Structure 1
Amino acid sequence: MPPLSQPSGFSTPANCAACRESIRQGSQSFYMASLMLPVAIREPAYAVYAFCRMADDLIDRDEGGIEGIRILGQMLDRIYRNRPGPHFVERVFADVVERFALPREIPEALIEGLAWDAEGRRYETLEDLVAYAVRVAGTVGFMMTLVMGRREPNVLARACDLGVAMQLTNIARDIGEDAGNGRIYMPLSWLRDGGVDPEGWLAAPRYGPEIQAVVARLLADAELLYDRSLSGVAALPASCRLGINLARLLYREIGREIGRGVDPVKDRAVTSRRQKMRLLAEAAGGRISDLAALPEPAIHSAVSLIAAIAMAPPGRALPAIPPWWNVMGRSEHMIALLMGFSTRAPAAEASGRSSPLVLRPRPDTRSHR
C-alpha cells in the first residue's frame, strides 16, 4: 500500500464500479468472460470496455460522427497530457493509458473505425473489411493484451486475430439488422460474384443461397482466425487464459449457430445458458498450451499499430485499486486520491465547465462487444 500522500491514479472505486455496471448491462458474453479474469486485470479491462462503448455512443450521435470525433479528440488530448477531465470513463481510461503505456495510435484507430461506421462506409474486398475490423475490434485486443501485461509483437498479432474473428462473427450475425439500417458489411465483390446486386438486396433482404454462401465464407475466415488466436491465449499469463479463451469460445459459438441453420436476416443468433455453461466447462477443462501459430505474420493492416506499441515508452506502474471486499484498502485509496486533487485539478473543473459525456448502457452494438 503506497503512502497516503502519494495518489495512485485518477480513478476512484466509484469510477470503476460505474465501468463494471456498463459492461454488465451492455454485453453479457464479455461480462461473463471477464468474471474469469483476476480482479487486478478485471478493473482495467472494464475501463477499456467503457471507453470503447462511450466512443461508439458519441460517434453514433450525428451522421458522420463529426462532433463525436471532436469531443473524443479533446478527451485524448487531456488524457495524453495526464490531465483527464471529471467524467468517470475519462479518468479510468487515463489510468490505463499511463499504467500500460498505451500509445495514442490505438484509441485513435478505434475512433477512425467507428467513424467509418457512422458514415456508412462499405467494403469492396475482404482485405478492406479486415482493415475496418482491425480498427474497431483488433484495437480492443491490443488494449486487453497490454492490460494483461503482454506487449510482445507476436502475442499482439494473435490478439488482433481474435478481435477480427469476433468482428466477422458479428457481421455475419447482424446482416439483417444492418440491412434494416441501410448498412452492408459483407464484401461487395463477394456479393457481385454470387450474382447479388448490393442495392437490390438492401431493398429486399433475404437469406437466399447466394447470401448463405457469403456468410459461410466470412465464418470460415473467422474460424481460421479463432484457431490461430489460441496460440496468443496460450502466451498470456496463466491467470488470464481461462477468461479470454471463454470469450473466444462464446463468440465462435455464435457463428456456429448460424451454420446450424439460424437465418440472420430474420433472427439473431445467440447462445443459450446451457451452451454458455458447456463452453465454460470446455474452457476450464481444455489444455491451452499450443504456441505453434504464435510466429505467424500479423494481419497487414495491424502491422503499424503493433509497431506503435513496440515504440511506446514504458508505463508507470500504479497500484491496483483494492478489491471490493478490502474496505480499508479502498478507503485509504480514496483518501490518497482526495489529497491529490488539490494539486491535480482537471482542466474542465478548473474552467468551471462540466463534461458533455454521458455513458448510456444499451444492448450490444456492432463493435467491441
Structure 2
Amino acid sequence: MGYDYALVHLTYTIPPALLLSIIYYPLCTKLDLYKLAFLIIIAVISTIPWDSYLIRTNIWSYPPSVVLGPKIFSIPIEEVFFFVIQTYNTSLLYLLLSKPVLHSAYLVREKKGRRGRWTYIKLIGQLALGLAIKKGITFVREGGKETYLGLILVWAIPFLFLLWSLAYQFLVNLPPTSTILPIALPTLYLWLVDTLALKRGTWVIESGTKTGITLWEGLEIEEAVFFLLTNCLITFGLVAFDNAIAVLNTFPSHFEKVPSLPNPALLVRALLIPASTYDDDRILGLQQSVARLKAKSRSFYLASSVFQGRLRIDLIVLYSFCRIADDLIDNATTAKEARDWVAKLKEFLDLCYADPMKTADGRVINARDPNQGAATTCVMRHFPEDAQLTLLMLPTNRMNKEPLYELIRGFEMDLAFTSNFSGTTTTKLTGPITSEQDLDLYGARVAGTVALLCIQLVMYHYPGTSESKAKRLMAAGHDMGVALQYTNIARDLQVDAQNGRVYAPPGWLKKEKFTPESFIAGLTSAVASPPTDSQTFFLQKLSAVRHRLLDRAFLFYDRSVSAIEELPIEGRAPMRVAVESYMQIARELRTPGFAVKAGRATVPGWKRVGVAWNSLWGPRKRQ
C-alpha cells in the first residue's frame, strides 16, 4: 500500500477542482449539475471496461507501493477517481467559458435535399474519424508496439464519431473559447501531470506495447493522445448536450414546452431533428439581436448570460427591440422622420395587440405572435431589413401592452426638444423636462417600462407569484428603471448635448448659474478642445449637476433594490447582475477621473465581470 497516486490527486487534480468550483458556484444552475452528473456517469461507465482490460492484459500497471489497495474491476480506486475528477474539471472549465454564449445563435439551417457546405464538413469529419478507427483496429490486430495506441483509438474515436455526427455544426460554429480552449488547457495541464507521474513510476506502461515515441522527455506519445482524446470526448459531449438544449429552447414550433431538466430521450430527439426543419429567420433574428447588444448594450448582454433558456431569449429580443426603436428615432435626419417612426411603431403594436385575451390569472395579453398577418406585413413594409426579424420575434403574447405604449410615449418626449439648436448659437432651447417630476416621468417611460416588461417575463417563465407580490414587484421594477435612466442621463450628458438635448431640469441648471443653452454650449466646447481655466470651472459646475442626477438615481435604487430578493428564485441572481452591472456605471461616475469612451463613461471589462460575479453571491451590502 502506498500514497503516491493519492498524492497526485491531492496535489494536481483536486486543487483545480476546488478553484473552479469556487469560481463557478454562483453561476451554477440545476441544468449545469445535470450536465455534470450526466457526463461523469457516462465517463465512468464507458472507461471502466476499457481500463480494466488494459490492466488485466498488463498493457499498463500500478505498482502496489503507490496505490492504496481498493480496486474496482482490477482498477485502483485512485484511477476510477481520475475518471471523475478529469471530467469534472474539464466540464467546469467549459461551462465557465461558455456561459456568455447564446447557443441558439449558433444553430444552422441546412437546405433539404441539397449537398451544401455543411454536408461536406460533416462527411470530411466522419471520414477522418473513420480512418482513425480503421488505423486503431490495424494496430490492435498487429499487436506489438502500437497496441496501446490502437486500443486508445478504438475506444475513443467511435464516441467522437457519434458526437461529431450529431453536433458537427455546433462544434465548428461555436467560438474557440467554447471548443478549443476547454480541450487545450486541461490537456496541456494533464500532460505536465502525467510527465511527473511517469517519471515517479506512479503508473507504468509496458515497454512491449508502446511505440517509445515521446512528445517531450518523460511524456509517452500514447499518454499525450489519451489525454487529448479524453478531453475532446468531454467537450464534444457537452457541446452536443448544449446543441440539444439550444434546439429545445429555440424552436417552440417543434417543442411547445421544455422541462427544466430534459431527459436523455428528449435530448436525443432534439439532436435528431433535421437541420433543414430549423426556422432560419428565428436563428438570424437572434444573431442580429446578440450583435446589436454586444455593440450597444454590453452591460445588459453580460447580465443576460446569467438568465436561462427561453427567458434569456425573450429578454435579449425585448432589449434589442428597445435599441432598435431608440436608434430609429434618434438617428432620424428630420423631426418629421422621427415622428413617422413613432407612428410606425405604434401601428406595429396596435396590430400585435389587436386580439386581446385573458389568462387564467386575469392578465390581459396578446392572443397572437407578431409573426402573423397584418403585423408581419407592417414590419416588412415599413422597417429596415436588419430590424424586421427582431420585431417579428418580440414576445408580445407574453407581455402586457401598456408598458410598450408608455415606452413609445417616452420617445415622443425626446421629440419635444427643439431640433435647430446647434450648441454655438443663442437659439432658445425648449424641451419636455421642466421639473424634477417631468424627469421622473421620462425615466419611468423609457426605462421603468423596460424593467416592468423584464419582470413580467420572469414571472411568465417562472409562474407562481401571488397577485399582491406581483404588484409590489412591478412597482419596485418601475423605480429601479427610473434609477437606471438617471444613471444613463448622468453618463450621456455630453452625447445628449451634441444632439441638442438637456435632461437636467432648468431649476437644477439655474442653481449652478446655467441656462439650457449655456449648458449645451459649455459641454460641446469642453469636448471639442483641451480645457481652459473657464472650461475647468464649467466642468466643476457640470460635476455638481451630474452628482445631483446620481443622487436621484441612488434614491430610486435604494428604495427598490430589496425587491429583487422577492422575485422567483431563478430570476434573483440574474436580475441582481443586470441591475448592479448598470449601477456600476453610476459608481464609476462618482469616482474622479472615470474612464470615458466615445463621450460616455465606461466600466472596464474586468470590473464588469467582477461586479457581475459578486452580484451572484447575494445582495450588495449597503455602504
Same fold (TM over 0.5): yes
1:256 aligns to 2:587 (yes or no): yes
1:97 counterpart letter in structure 2: T
Instruction: State how 1:188-267 maps to structure 2 within 5 Å.
Output: 188-205=506-523, 206=535, 207-262=538-593, 267=599
Match of 1:281 in 2: 613
RMSD over aligned Cα, in angstroms?
A: 2.9
- Residues 267 and 5 (structure 1 numbering): CA distance in 2 closer, same or farther, change over 3 Å? closer
1:88 counterpart letter in structure 2: L
SS class of match (1:148): helix
**Deviation digits for residues 274-300 of structure 1 (CA, Å, limit 9, x no counterpart):** 21122122102224899xxxxxxxxxx
Counterpart CA distance in 2 for 1:258 and 1:3 is 43
1:271 aligns to 2:541 (yes or no): no
**Deviation digits for residues 290-316 of structure 1 (CA, Å, limit 9, x no counterpart):** 9xxxxxxxxxxxxxxxxxxxxxxxxxx
Counterpart CA distance in 2 for 1:269 and 1:4 is 43
Match of 2:344 in 1: 71
Instruction: State how 1:94-113 maps to structure 2 within 5 Å.
Output: 96-98=395-397, 100-103=398-401, 105-113=402-410
User: Could you tell me how far 1:109 is from its partner in structure 2?
Assistant: 1.0
SS class of match (1:208): helix
8 Å CA contact 2:315, 2:454 repeated in 1? yes
User: Could you tell me how far 1:56 is from its partner in structure 2?
Assistant: 1.4
User: Could you tell me how far 1:194 is from its partner in structure 2?
Assistant: 2.5
2:390 counterpart letter in structure 1: V
SS class of match (2:601): coil
Relative to the length of structure 1, the TM-score reads 0.70
**Deviation digits for residues 157-214 of structure 1 (CA, Å, limit 9, x no counterpart):** 1111111111101111111121122211111111112322221222223543333222
The percentage of counterpart residues that share the same residue type is 29
Counterpart CA distance in 1 for 2:516 and 2:345 is 33
8 Å CA contact 1:191, 1:210 repeated in 2? no
User: Could you tell me how far 1:80 is from its partner in structure 2?
Assistant: 1.3
2:510 counterpart letter in structure 1: R
1:90 counterpart letter in structure 2: L
Instruction: State how 1:78-227 maps to structure 2 within 5 Å.
Output: 78-81=351-354, 82=368, 83=373, 84-85=375-376, 87-93=388-394, 96-98=395-397, 100-103=398-401, 105-120=402-417, 121-149=431-459, 152-205=470-523, 206=535, 207-227=538-558
**Deviation digits for residues 80-132 of structure 1 (CA, Å, limit 9, x no counterpart):** 13443053123211xx221x2412x2211111111221332341211110101
Query: Which protein is bigger by CA-based radius of gyration?
Result: 2
Matching residue within 282, 300, 320 for 1:12 = 282
Counterpart CA distance in 1 for 2:599 and 2:432 is 23
8 Å CA contact 2:574, 2:616 repeated in 1? no
User: Could you tell me how far 1:68 is from its partner in structure 2?
Assistant: 0.4
Which one has a larger percent helix, Structure 1 or Structure 2? 2
User: Could you tell me how far 1:267 is from its partner in structure 2?
Assistant: 4.9
User: Could you tell me how far 1:138 is from its partner in structure 2?
Assistant: 0.5
Point out where structure 1 has 5 or more consecutive residues left out of the alignment. 291-369
- Residues 266 and 102 (structure 1 numbering): CA distance in 2 closer, same or farther, change over 3 Å? closer
Match of 2:261 in 1: none
Number of residues of Structure 1 aligned to a counterpart in Structure 2: 285
1:156 counterpart letter in structure 2: M
8 Å CA contact 1:231, 1:289 repeated in 2? no
SS class of match (2:559): helix
- Residues 15 and 125 (structure 1 numbering): CA distance in 2 closer, same or farther, change over 3 Å? same
8 Å CA contact 1:59, 1:68 repeated in 2? yes
Match of 1:325 in 2: none
1:215 counterpart letter in structure 2: R
Counterpart CA distance in 1 for 2:292 and 2:485 is 20
- Residues 38 and 288 (structure 1 numbering): CA distance in 2 closer, same or farther, change over 3 Å? farther
Counterpart CA distance in 1 for 2:252 and 2:313 is 22
Relative to the length of structure 2, the TM-score reads 0.42
Point out where structure 2 has 5 or more consecutive residues left out of the alignment. 1-247, 258-278, 355-367, 381-387, 418-430, 460-464, 524-534
8 Å CA contact 2:448, 2:480 repeated in 1? yes
8 Å CA contact 1:191, 1:211 repeated in 2? no
Of residues 125-134 and 241-250 in structure 1, the stretch that sits farther from structure 2 once superposed is 241-250
1:76 counterpart letter in structure 2: L
